[in-house]
Homo-oligomer: A and B are copies of this chain.
Amino acid sequence: MSSDIQTKFDFIKANTSKINEVDFENLTFGNVFTDYMLVCDFKNGAWEKPVIKPYEPFTLDPSAKVFHYGQAIFEGMKAYKDENDDVWMFRPYENFSRFNKSAVRLCMPEVPEYVFIDGLKELINLEKSWVKKGKGNSLYIRPFMIAIGSGVIAQPSTQYRFCVILSPAKSYYSGDVKVLIADYYSRAANGGIGAAKAAGNYSGQFYPTKLANEQGFQQVIWTDDATHTKLEEAGTMNVFFRINDTLYTAPTSDRILDGVTRKSLIDLAKREGIAVEVRSVLVDELVEAAKNGSLKEIFGAGTAAVVSPISGFQYKDEYIELPKIENSFSAHLKEKMTNIQYKIEEDTFGWTVKV
């Protein structure tokens, strides 16, 4: 570590590394973690000195507020290794900014930039050997913050823990993704926390998703909770619709997450000469477009898979399969995006940040 960093971060060395026990060819997502984590606690109204230390369990009182009131937020990001063995993060300032927006909405303290951004750089730099070269290989980065203060009164905690853990990841083929359009369950309320990456937004999706799984669908496309007529997100991803040669995606709102992949795809599509309209797409409009043949593609957009093509959708009693398509926008955009992420093509946007 540089001396500048040593003054900002404490460091506790691990005695051993787990890296030789890991089968990098057969990784399941999010189960293997690297040797180190970054931890920074907030107490007495201030952030303590962050520490990079061996990955180890947390010890928390049973009354810790994260267990009772869900004061917990996170981010999902990735780092990629180029052919020169340099490691690059993708738009980390976007995640940093969104993390602190989530913090404000959940009544948690904002994390300082040096803790989040410099902390990420230091931690990932230390764990460079966990990032493998080659498209598809990446390091999944999980910054998160939890309320660790004790006491079962329903009030914001006074103590918090910010932590970053890292997990090596491989690209995976998700198979045919069929989705169910929600006509009863919802993800987020107007004036709620849907735009925050808050822990509570995710657990609420598990049961409706399980019901969809049981009917043979891999994901749910969420609709607005008031009318169930507007298409909003796909599972835990933003969603794009291609009708004729225009891409549509819903505007962000307090119900819809301001996804980094979503906003990057919008910019990339425009650069590639693809028309993009940011507006709500109605369920009826989608069904009609599917029936008259103008609906060409649907895909989810998120950090994990960049784009996830959707092969068909069920709405109420009707299942509509999308036609197979050549020269799909989703495949083209994924190719271009990953070329930027892996430094294969020039990053004209300035999105990549070297570790």
Tell me the A residues contacting B by CB distance below 8 Å: 28-31, 33, 37, 55-63, 66-72, 74, 104-107, 140, 142, 144, 146-147, 150-156, 163, 165, 167, 182, 184-193, 198-208, 210, 225-228, 236
Question: Are B225 and A204 neighbours in the complex by a CB distance under 8 Å?
Answer: no
Which residues of chain B come closer than 8 Å to A55, judged between CB atoms? 62
Main secondary structure of the interface of A (DSSP, over half): loop
Question: Are B74 and A72 neighbours in the complex by a CB distance under 8 Å?
Answer: no
Pick the residue among B154, B184, B206 that contacts A155 (CB under 8 A): B206
Which B residue sits closest to A197, measured CB to CB?
B68
Which residues of chain B come closer than 8 Å to A142, judged between CB atoms? 63, 68, 152
10 A-B pairs with C-beta separation under 8 A: A30-B152, A58-B67, A60-B60, A67-B72, A68-B74, A185-B192, A190-B225, A190-B226, A191-B208, A192-B204
Which B residue sits closest to A156, measured CB to CB?
B206
Q: Smallest Cβ distance from A65 to chain B, in angstroms?
A: 8
Question: Are A182 and B191 neighbours in the complex by a CB distance under 8 Å?
Answer: yes
Which residues of chain B come closer than 8 Å to A226, judged between CB atoms? 190, 225-227
Which residues of chain B come closer than 8 Å to A29, judged between CB atoms? 152-153
Question: Are A210 and B107 neighbours in the complex by a CB distance under 8 Å?
Answer: yes
Distance A167 CA – B206 CA, assembled complex (angstroms): 32
Task: Given A30-B63, A57-B62, A68-B142, verify A203-B107 contact (CB < 8 Å).
Answer: yes
Which B residue sits closest to A183, measured CB to CB?
B191
Which residues of chain B come closer than 8 Å to A74, judged between CB atoms? 68
Q: Smallest Cβ distance from A340 to chain B, in angstroms?
A: 24
